[in-house]
A and B are shown apart, each in its own frame.
Chain A
Amino acid sequence: MRFMFKTDYEDDIKLFPHGGYIVTYGVLLAFLVVAPFILSSYLVSQLVFVFIYATVGVGLMILTGFTGQASLGHAAFLAIGAYTAAYLQQYNVPFPVYFLAAGLLTGVVGAMVGFPALRLQGIYLVIATISFAFIIEEILARWESVTHGNEGMRVKALQFLGTAVSRDSPSFYFLCLAVLTLTIVGTLNLLRSPTGRAFVAIRDSETAARSMGVNVSLYKVKSFAISAAITGFAGVLFAHKLSFISPEMFTLQLSIEFIIVILIGGAFSPHGAVLGAIFIVMIDPFLTYLKDDVPGMIAAVAATFGAGAATAAKIQANVAAFASANGLKGAIYGIIIVLFVLFEPLGLYGRWLKIKLFFQLFPLYKRATFKRQKIYVKSERNR
């Protein structure tokens, strides 16, 4: 058990509360720096996707997790970032310029969405963001002079300082890692600034925040703009990583995936975004693995327990048929979402905190520490 004796506010808001943090994150960073040289190229590529999804997750977390404004339209912000990059790249605009331009444009669009969203609450906000995403998707499909419509757009390799950075090269990996790290550090700094405090105050109670002198409208719009801008930056990387973009990539499905990232990771800390991103990127290879290897393994287990060769082969065939059923992925997604909402609303990172606390306090841990409060009285309609 470590006791931290805080004597002033500066102690309380330190990024690294004690030396242990520096060691852990230092080791993690060191691993990530050498990762592209020791891991297989497939895993490195997956890691790049994890970085991109985590960046979007952190962006979405600022809006949904910290300001309490739900959005099911973040795929549209990602699309705006990606298309800005693809469009400007055609005119040989250098990378740093269109990278910043994409973030800026997405931020402006985010603020424009934020203004109407000021009057909307809860479910109305969700449907408004869905509508916004649909409209953007349709614009991308129809504005053919700029976006090439449903044919999609090719995105050339990234040019930086006169050299081409291929999407599979370690340099691109480091670029994504740098963007994610800067986003996370920036977000942590934002959260300990007055702006971040105002966001959290709005999430916890709009009325209380307003009566404490927080300009709710201003901070909500700011939250939308910042969240959208981060998603826009991620969009540029996304476009380069995929090297081809078309409107049907940025559907409601993708927005839901982003929400799943922060839901499964835990919506209250950037750790959650990273864990959630690892989950969402790795679930596909995991399911493929399940499809390919598990039937054989189960048959082998059955054989060792004395089943005949014919029975084992039959079991293998049945399991294989089930595992390759069309749409099994959707069912697994669905079950995982429901289980997380029901049993672990704080997400993977919340589970980690609970385990950590269990060992720190052993044998004094009590479950009620993390109990959620149920509110039956309040009608959200009357908020």
Chain B
Amino acid sequence: MLDFVQQLVSGIALGCVYGLIALGFVLVYKATEVVNFAQGDLMMLGGFFAFTFIGILGLNYWIGFAGAVVAMALFGMLAERVVVRPILGYPQFSIIMATIGLGYFLRSIAGIIWGTDDLKIETPFSQGVLRIGSLVLAYDKLSVIAATVILCAMLYLFFNRTTLGTAMRASSENMLAAYYMGIPVKRVVSIVWAISAAVATAAGVLLAPITFIHSNVGLVLGLKAFPAAVLGGFGSIPGAVVGGVLIGVIESMAGFYLPQGWKDVAPYVVLLMVLLLKPEGLFGHHARKKV
């Protein structure tokens, strides 16, 4: 039983990481109908920025964290302007390919600049564990869970309660109509990319003590976060987190209870089954095309 709870908690922590990255996918998708395959690489780059600020320049952890988030938000806007905006409105497949290309580029540039070693950031959560009875929980994992809950709640409120959030939802429903209603669609899209890159950076920095930072971390985690977003319905913020947690728990349980090899495959098997039964994901809404 204790094993089970321990696995459950570490699965949830892992899942929150996937959820955080998936949040970035969902944000961009919700607002612009663009699937950003480079989301994991934005996270990786955010981690490297934070490492530069904290580990090399020696700034305070929180200042470095904030600096990395701001820098990456600007970078997100730049990436949107250069790569995505010219092809907005073209078939989804072109955009997927463009972001795959962007991901390739970011990975190898990061490898050239920061080298190929695993880097580590000293954080206030790196050390220490919380003991509840005989249950042992590391602070770094708890910090990820807490940050996910806070970010998710903030984003949910942002999308449903603020004018900017409403504008984003409107432009996601119908860009042209939103434009006619006076929404500056280009700026909205730009801001969405900034937010999504900022969320990715938060994920990257929180993850630094757990997975370390190297140029392929984004690819590895992005490929797990992607099913999480799809499982949750790609377009639903709570869905992304629930999907992430599900994937994390499945992975962690499969690693513990099933024979070796299942750990990596189990999330995809579950994903395929869910897609078969409910092609629009758990929280997605299904709409018929009008002719």
Interface residues of A (CB under 8 A from B): 64, 70, 116, 119-124, 126-128, 130-132, 134-135, 138, 141-142, 207-208, 252, 256, 259, 263, 325-331, 333-338, 341-342, 345, 372, 374-377, 379-383
Main secondary structure of the interface of A (DSSP, over half): helix
Indicate which residue in A124, A325, A380 contacts B112 across the interface (CB closer than 8 Å): A325
Q: B56 in the interface, Cβ–Cβ < 8 Å?
A: no
A329 near B108 (CB under 8 angstroms)? Answer: yes
Give complex CA distance A372, B87 in Å. Answer: 10
Question: Roughly how many angstroms separate A121 CA and B112 CA in the complex, as a whole number?
Answer: 37
By secondary structure, the B interface counts as helix
- Identify 14 new A-B residue pairs, CB closer than 8 A, beyond the known A333-B101, A335-B101, A382-B287: A119-B276, A123-B92, A124-B230, A124-B279, A127-B227, A127-B230, A131-B269, A327-B107, A327-B111, A331-B104, A331-B112, A333-B104, A341-B94, A382-B288
CB-based contact B174/A379 at 8 Å? yes
Q: Is B268 at the interface (CB under 8 A from chain A)?
A: yes
Q: Give A333's nearest chain B residue, CB to CB.
A: B104
Least CB distance, A166 to chain B, in whole angstroms:
36
Cβ-defined contact, A70 with B96, below 8 A: yes
Contact check, A376 vs B268: say whether CB atoms are below 8 A apart.
Answer: no
Residues of B within 8 A of A127 (CB): 226-227, 230, 271, 275
Contact B105–A330 (Cβ < 8 Å): yes
- A336–B105 CA distance with the chains assembled, in angstroms: 10
Asked whether, in the complex, the Cβ of A345 is within 8 Å of the Cβ of B90, the reply is yes
How many pairs of residues, A versus B, come closer than 8 Å at their CB atoms? Answer: 151
Could you tell me the distance between the alpha carbons of A307 and B173 in the complex, rounded to whole angstroms?
A: 60
Q: List 22 A-B contacts (CB under 8 A).
A: A119-B275, A119-B276, A122-B92, A124-B230, A124-B275, A127-B271, A138-B261, A141-B261, A326-B111, A326-B116, A327-B112, A327-B116, A327-B215, A329-B108, A330-B104, A330-B107, A330-B108, A334-B102, A337-B97, A376-B88, A376-B89, A376-B176
Question: Given the complex, which residues of A lie within 8 Å of B288, measured CB to CB?
Answer: 382
- In whole angstroms, how far apart are the Cα atoms of A327 and B83 in the complex? 21
Question: B152-195: which have CB < 8 Å to A?
Answer: 172-177, 179
* A residues near B97, Cβ cutoff 8 Å: 259, 263, 337, 341
Decide: A116 and B272 in contact? CB cutoff 8 A. yes
Chain A: minimal CB distance from B158 (Å): 21
Q: How many positions in chain B have a CB within 8 Å of any CB in the partner chain?
A: 60
Q: Are B33 and A334 in contact (CB under 8 A)?
A: no
The answer to whether A116 and B275 have CB atoms under 8 Å apart is yes
Give Cα distance in the complex from A114 to B275, angstroms.
Answer: 13
Given A124-B230, A327-B111, does the pair A134, B90 have CB atoms closer than 8 Å?
A: no
Contact flag A382-B279 (CB < 8 Å), given A334-B108, A338-B83, A377-B174: no
Contact with A128, one of B102, B272, B280 (Cβ below 8 angstroms): B272
> Min CB distance, B95 to chain A, in Å?
8
For B112, what are the chain A residues with a Cβ–Cβ distance below 8 Å?
A: 325-328, 331
B223 / chain A contacts, CB cutoff of 8 Å:
130, 252
CA distance A144 to B261 in the complex (A): 12
Distance A138 CA – B93 CA, assembled complex (angstroms) = 27
A341 with B176: CB separation less than 8 A: no
Does B210 lie at the interface of the complex (its beta carbon under 8 Å from any beta carbon of A)?
no
- Nearest Cβ in chain B — how far from A239, in angstroms? 23
Chain B hits for A132, CB < 8 A: 272
With CB as the reference atom, state the residue of chain B lying closest to A322.
Answer: B112
Q: Is B35 an interface residue (CB 8 A)?
A: yes
Given A141-B261, A329-B108, CB of A338 within 8 Å of CB of B289: no
Q: Give a binary string over B260-277; 1 marks a CB under 8 Å from any A CB, 0 the rest.
A: 010011001101100110
Q: Are A377 and B176 in contact (CB under 8 A)?
A: yes
Interface string of B62-93 (1 = CB under 8 A from A): 00000000000000000000010011111011
B103 at the interface (CB under 8 A from A): yes
A372 CB to nearest B CB, Å: 6
> Which of the residues B86, B268, B280 comes within 8 Å of A134, measured between beta carbons?
B268
Using Cβ atoms and an 8 Å threshold, which residues of chain B touch A345? 90, 94
Measured in the bound complex, the distance between the Cα atoms of B109 and A325 in whole Å is 10
User: Cβ of B104 and Cβ of A337 under 8 Å apart?
Assistant: yes
Q: Which of A131, A263, A380 has the most CB of B within 10 A?
A: A131
In contact, A142 and B177 (Cβ under 8 angstroms): no
B106 / chain A contacts, CB cutoff of 8 Å = 334
Contact A331 B105 (CB under 8 A): yes
Bound: A18/B226 CA distance, A: 49
Chain B residues near A337 (CB, 8 Å)? Answer: 97-98, 100-101, 104
Q: Which 7 A-B pairs have the closest CB atoms?
A: A334-B105, A337-B101, A330-B108, A334-B104, A374-B89, A327-B108, A131-B268
Chain B residues, CB < 8 A from A141: 261
Q: Which residues of A contact B179 (CB under 8 A)?
A: 376
A135–B101 Cα gap in the complex (Å)?
Answer: 24
